Amino acid sequence: MAFHRISSSNLEIKEISKILKDKKKLKLSDKSIIKIIKSREYLDEKMRESPSPVYGINTGFGSLCNVKISPSKLVELQENLVMSHACGTGDTIPKPIIRLMLLFKIQSLSYGHSGIALETVNRLVDFYNNDILPVVYEQGSLGASGDLAPLAHLALPLIGKGEVYFNGDKIESSVVLKEFGWDPIKLRSKEGLALLNGTQFMSAYGIFILLEANRLYEFSNIIGATSIDAFDCNLSPFDELVHLVRPHRGQIKTADRIRELLKGSEIGKREKTNVQDPYSFRCIPQVHGASKDTISFVENTFITEINSVTDNPNIFVDEDKIISGGNFHGQPLALALDYLSIAMAEIGNISERRIYQLISGLRGLPPFLVNNPGLNSGFMITQYTAASIVSQNKQYASPASIDSIVSSNGQEDHVSMGANAATKALKVINNVSTILAIELFNSSQALYFREENTSPFLKDFIEKFRSKVPILKEDQIMSYHIQNSKNFISGFQV
């Protein structure tokens, strides 16, 4: 059985992808276990030594931070915190994102700055390893004070409350605890706050989106290259010399990939009558490349975040300090997610422009890519659909991070809205996948009308695609083919 050992070393995007793909189990490293125990013992000792109020440990929360709680009520305080903050609503979030939330919460707690009990962290590990996934809702987080409502739902099953997904069903967590012979966790001082403070909802969405964004970036190049040959474009704009004099990393990388994909193309070698091509073809390196640079920036932000401590207060054993700060604030993530939404929306935007050109009846292609246009509408309305989705993405790409609403009676007077940035960024990603699927459907059809062959790589790629989505000789129900094109993209390994 494959294990990933939770340790002080950084989680990287490739390792996360491997954990998910290989369905690895989690295991705390010896170093993490020592740090967790040391932090908890330090906190317990501090509580015995000093009766002074310490935020979130023996006080109320938010604007109730000045209300001191008696020692006999501290367990009740933590359980009340988890239950009262479980205010999630809207749609439930996808299971892969819940898994990532569990992974990132365990990772954050493993550093020994949270005062969490080892028993509690081990139960989270047990949940992950047995695929017991707490039911979490999309709406409820302001992205500051952490993702309070979503993380409360993530924590509820620890105390035998709330619902979980298990063996394909959504059931009461108390039922699953009994099945495994587990008692509900009795949360000790600070534990509820350690579980609820944090950015794991935003982080899980961000990493999930990044994994898909990297995949769609590669598909955008493959599909864009197919459209370049389908539209009989010049290859000179992809010459390395052009890009070395404007050396943005993403631009250079994209141009290299386009040249590689079109290597050996008979269409590309043929002398052209058209001197220049529309920007949507000619500027693929500049546009796709800029989005790639954005993806890289966002990835760096999120890798930093998931390898950080984001609850509050933070415990520093060696320095003998308990410090209330603001590491739960999601501003870095909110800005990054908004930036990513814009960048990925642009991948869809330029893709739709290529679709428009392909059906326009230019460059020796029939209008709407079908014989007998008029009797057949052909691919006319596929562009309508793509245009509709592009327009919706422009709405989703409007930044969430520019908004803030005062909460907790003025104590939490600036919030990031990073959770809203996260959920709409996923909608953008899903939309871009559909737009690219429509472009691939169109470019495959357009290539059918070319006498020369495209490159060996693209020829093999298109043959595989056409085994799922055929060339159309007359009008058919297009939504079926668009869905099959989407399925091809989601299942094809790039």
Please name which of 352, 362, 357 lies closest in space to residue 385, comparing C-alpha atoms: 352
Question: Do strands 314-316 and 169-172 pair parallel, antiparallel, or not at all (unpaired)?
Answer: unpaired
Q: Which two tokens stand for residue 300?
A: 């760096």
- Cα 441 to Cα 104, 471, 472: the distances in Å are 38, 9, 10
Q: Which residues are CB-contacts of 53 (< 8 A; sequence separation ≥ 6)? A: 59, 66, 68
Proportion of the chain in helix, strand, coil states, percent, rounded to 5: 60, 5, 35
- Cα 181 to Cα 26, 161, 177, 178: the distances in Å are 20, 15, 6, 5
Question: Do strands 321-323 and 314-316 pair parallel, antiparallel, or not at all (unpaired)?
Answer: antiparallel
Give first-to-last CA distance, the chain, whole Å.
27
Q: Which two tokens stand for residue 160?
A: 């035998």
- Cα 185 to Cα 116, 157, 195, 358: the distances in Å are 12, 9, 13, 61
E strands along 29-113, which residues? 89-92
Q: What is the Cα–Cα distance from 319 to 464, expressed in whole angstroms?
A: 61
Q: DSSP readout, 415-433?
A: ---HHHHHHHHHHHHHHHH
Q: DSSP readout, 272-331?
A: PS-S---HHHHTHHHHHHHHHHHHHHHHHHHHHHHTS--SSSEEETTTTEEE---TT--H
Asked whether the beta carbons of 136 and 338 are under 8 A apart, the reply is no
* Catalytic residue flag (residue 55): yes
**42, 55, 128, 137: the active-site residue:** 55
Q: How many Cα atoms occupy the beta-carbon half-sphere of 264 within 13 Å? A: 8
Residues annotated as catalytic are 55
